[in-house]
Amino acid sequence: MTNAFTASGLFGELFRDPAIAAEFAAPAFLARMCAFEAAWTRALAAAGAVAPGDADAALAAIEGHAAGPDAFAAASLRDGLPVPGLVAALRRGLPPGAAAAIHTGATSQDVIDSAMVLTLLAVAGHLEGRLRALGACIDELSRRFGTRPLTARTRMQAALPATVELRLAAWRRPLADHLARLAGLRTEIGRAQIGGAVGLRDAPEGRAAEVAEAAARALGLALGPVWHTDRSPMVAFGHWLTLVAGTAGKIGQDVALMAQQGLDEIALAGGGGSSAMPHKQNPVAAECMVALARFVAAQQGLLAQAMLHEQERSGAAWALEWLTLPAMAEATGAALAHGLRLLGAVERIGAPG
């Protein structure tokens, strides 16, 4: 995650998710930025806005670009984002016509937002698979233990006799809801950002709509109205992450309570040891799920402030998305990964004996 302390390796993968982190890592994000630039150049050429030879030279420069992300660190510090440095690097050494076939009519926000959309769609694919796997784990636990007795508890007090299936159903139900929401969410976020310098989408002159449609199509994205100051899609994705992580956290919280000595309503293989009390078996995965869910929920409040985009572009509100969304996505992925390990370690659920 973005926290250098937990990402240092000292804590292993307690609060990290390598697969999700890789989607936001500089090489992957840079590749998606270059994919936008290539799609834009091809669209300019298809519309006749640039000469075919110039487009070919521009595409060769984009596709052959070998500079690593570190090459843009100084430019980002100066400009507030890496796109101006990337465009300058792609154009370097090209004749004027070929240089003009790169990025002309687009803007930095078009590049970064479209790359972020592609990244979030990839992340959604990872999380969908884990949600389905977690549901299958719960179904297996229901088959094995669903009819066993379990005391239902309200407000953390013993309430009425029930069975394990009551609690498992409460874990399973939201997973199906999150999967059902995902189709609509993909539609909501799966739109290219093509607004140009101030959101008019008016370049190249006379061909703007044609070029924008072709570029979006090449990226596998839809093209709706310009949304550069409406951050609803990004906040909606964060909201979905909050729901998913919250469901994982609820499972973790239940398991941690069920594992308390004296209740012993669940038996887990393995478990965490204590440096001072060797008799303990701490439900580490369950605890991590709770911590990660609370972390994601807190970040959603910060992400929501990205909605306050002043005028036609914000440098401050926009940057909040870069600070929060990668961390939220990785924390959600880690919570689901812990959930799969946790439920896979269950040896018994229900009253002991």
Q: Is residue 10 part of a domain?
A: no
Please state, as a whole number, how many other Cβ atoms lie within 10 Å of the Cβ of residue 190.
Answer: 19
Fill in the DSSP letter of residue 25: S
What CATH number did the domain enclosing 255 receive?
1.20.200.10
What CATH number did the domain enclosing 29 receive?
1.10.275.10
Residue range 236-243: average pLDDT? Answer: 98
Q: Are residues 182 and 282 in the same domain?
A: yes
The percentage of the chain sitting over the pLDDT mark of 70, rounded to a whole number, equals: 96
Q: Say how far residue 131 (Cα) sits from the centre of its chain.
A: 14
350 close to 162: Cβ distance less than 8 angstroms: no
pLDDT in tens, 122-152: 999 999 999 999 999 999 999 999 999 999 9
Q: Are residues 57 and 151 in the same domain?
A: no
pLDDT at 353: 66
pLDDT at 6: 74
For the cut 70, the answer to whether the pLDDT of residue 1 exceeds it is: no
Angle between helices 108-145 and 26-46 (to 10 degrees): 120
Q: Is residue 133 part of a domain?
A: yes
Residue range 202-208: average pLDDT? Answer: 94
Q: Are residues 98 and 161 in the same domain?
A: no
Q: Are residues 232 and 264 in the same domain?
A: yes
The vertex-187 CA angle with 186 and 189, nearest 5°, equals: 65
Q: Are residues 33 and 81 in the same domain?
A: yes
Q: Is residue 345 part of a domain?
A: yes
Tokens describing residue 50: 């640039």
pLDDT at 263: 85
216 close to 194: Cβ distance less than 8 angstroms: yes
Tokens describing residue 183: 């189709």
Report, in angstroms and rounded to the nearest whole number, the Rg of the chain calculated over CA atoms.
Answer: 24
Q: Is residue 69 part of a domain?
A: yes
Q: Rounded to two decimals, what is the model's pTM?
A: 0.94
pLDDT in tens, 290-327: 999 999 999 999 999 999 999 999 999 999 999 999 99
Which of 79, 77, 78, 89 shows the shortest CA–CA distance to 30? 89
What is the Cα–Cα distance from 7 to 309, expressed in whole angstroms?
31
For the cut 50, the answer to whether the pLDDT of residue 279 exceeds it is: no
Which of 97, 82, 70, 86 shows the shortest CA–CA distance to 34? 86
For the cut 90, the answer to whether the pLDDT of residue 73 exceeds it is: no
pLDDT at 280: 43
Least confident span in 197-206, 248-257, 344-353: 344-353
Q: Where do we find the tokens 């690097």?
A: 89
Q: Is residue 7 part of a domain?
A: no
Residue scoring higher pLDDT (214 or 68): 214
Per-residue confidence band for 12, with pLDDT thresholds at 50, 70 and 90: confident
Tally of structural domains, the chain = 2
Residue range 185-201: average pLDDT? Answer: 96
Please state, as a whole number, how many other Cβ atoms lie within 10 Å of the Cβ of residue 198.
Answer: 13
For the cut 80, the answer to whether the pLDDT of residue 233 exceeds it is: yes
Per-residue confidence band for 252, with pLDDT thresholds at 50, 70 and 90: very high
Please state, as a whole number, how many other Cβ atoms lie within 10 Å of the Cβ of residue 155.
Answer: 5
pLDDT at 273: 40
What is the Cα–Cα distance from 285 to 65, expressed in whole angstroms?
42
> What is the Cβ-side half-sphere exposure of residue 172, based on CA atoms within 13 angstroms?
15
Provide the residue range defining the domain that includes 343: 107-191+227-353
For the cut 80, the answer to whether the pLDDT of residue 171 exceeds it is: yes
Q: Where do we find the tokens 């995902």?
A: 182
pLDDT at 281: 66
